[in-house]
Amino acid sequence: MGHTKQPNFLIVGAAKSGTTSLWHYLKQHPDVFMPVNKEPMFFASSYYEKLNRKDPHYPLIMQYLVTDLAAYRRLFEKSEGKKAVGEATATYLCHHDLVIPRVIQLLNDVKILMILRNPVDRAVSAYTFLLRDGEESLSLDECLNMEEERMKSHWSMTHAYRGVGLYYSQVKAYMDNFSRVKVYLYEDLVRDAQGLVKQMFEFLEVDSSFSPDVKTRHNISGVPTKAWIHRAISKPNLATRSLTPLVKLITTEPQRRKIVEGLRGRYLSKPEITVETRGRLQEIFRDDILKLQDLIGRDLSTWLASPASR
């Protein structure tokens, strides 16, 4: 173990709300350390160890899952000298009941960051993300009908289009258990990514005058319009593995990732989600949104706008 530092902050979610972008932006700071494995899921590992192998997301989760404490600590081996040390697992928010006791036991009162997205848009984004990677074939309405059954069968929360977006109790659990919790909105990231990251640097107590590159959007959802291009760039590590040695010699890993994300964004289209389906989702989330806006002190009226006006 030596003097390996442990995380003093966690980005806990929500899934499909910009956590991948935040991870990319924050780790550019010279005083911030975040491991290459963006989604170790360590504090929720007891759930993922029992994951249903029929879940199409299973192989990808197993690629990133860290279940062993020593292996988790090794993720932070190179963090010496960094002031802010953290990791980002987007499902820590929805798995708060499992995660919070383990975090308190191991890390005590760490700083908690979360970013929330309109739960209707988040559900649609999660659905198109799985559609993009060939891990969903049903309509979104059918998925909502199947959700309870899938969760009982121990599928991943990636398929919990309803469950993940009921934020109130999830956010409250973190606020009740940690003294330093910051809640941001996806709109903040879209409107002023640089300003949002500056606020996060202030919260993490590192130099907030540092300006990361926030131009690239990461982990975009959508349905591939050019299937062969998507196949080439979507398989884990395939894109970078298949590049010639010369390309690897003259580009860095972040540059290669940027190329892949650029290609992905260019060849993805959004599936049509009916006004009726959006309306159904809005009814599911309405009461929760009203409670959430009081809890976090933010106006969420745009989240309650009728689907037809969107």
Together in a domain, 183 and 251: no
Residue 98 located in a structural domain: yes
pLDDT band with cut points at 50, 70 and 90 for residue 134? confident
Number of domains the chain contains: 2
Together in a domain, 63 and 141: yes
Together in a domain, 287 and 210: yes
Interatomic CA distance for residues 30 and 16, integer angstroms? 26
Together in a domain, 228 and 295: no
Residue 2 located in a structural domain: no
Interatomic CA distance for residues 182 and 175, integer angstroms? 9
Residue 147 pLDDT exceeds 60: yes
Together in a domain, 133 and 228: no
Residue 48 located in a structural domain: yes
Residue 1 located in a structural domain: no
Residue 200 pLDDT exceeds 90: yes
Question: In this structure, what CATH number is given to the domain that contains residue 131?
Answer: 3.40.50.300
Residue 4 located in a structural domain: no
Together in a domain, 294 and 249: no
Together in a domain, 53 and 20: yes
Together in a domain, 238 and 168: no
Together in a domain, 147 and 39: yes
Together in a domain, 98 and 163: yes
Residue 207 pLDDT exceeds 60: yes
Together in a domain, 214 and 263: no
- Residue-wise pLDDT for 247-271, tens only, equals 556 655 555 555 544 544 444 556 6
Together in a domain, 139 and 191: yes
The tokens 């005590």 sit on which residue?
A: 108
Domain of 98 in residue numbering reads as 9-218+275-309
pTM of the model: 0.82
Residue 3 located in a structural domain: no
- Residue-wise pLDDT for 38-49, tens only, equals 899 999 999 999
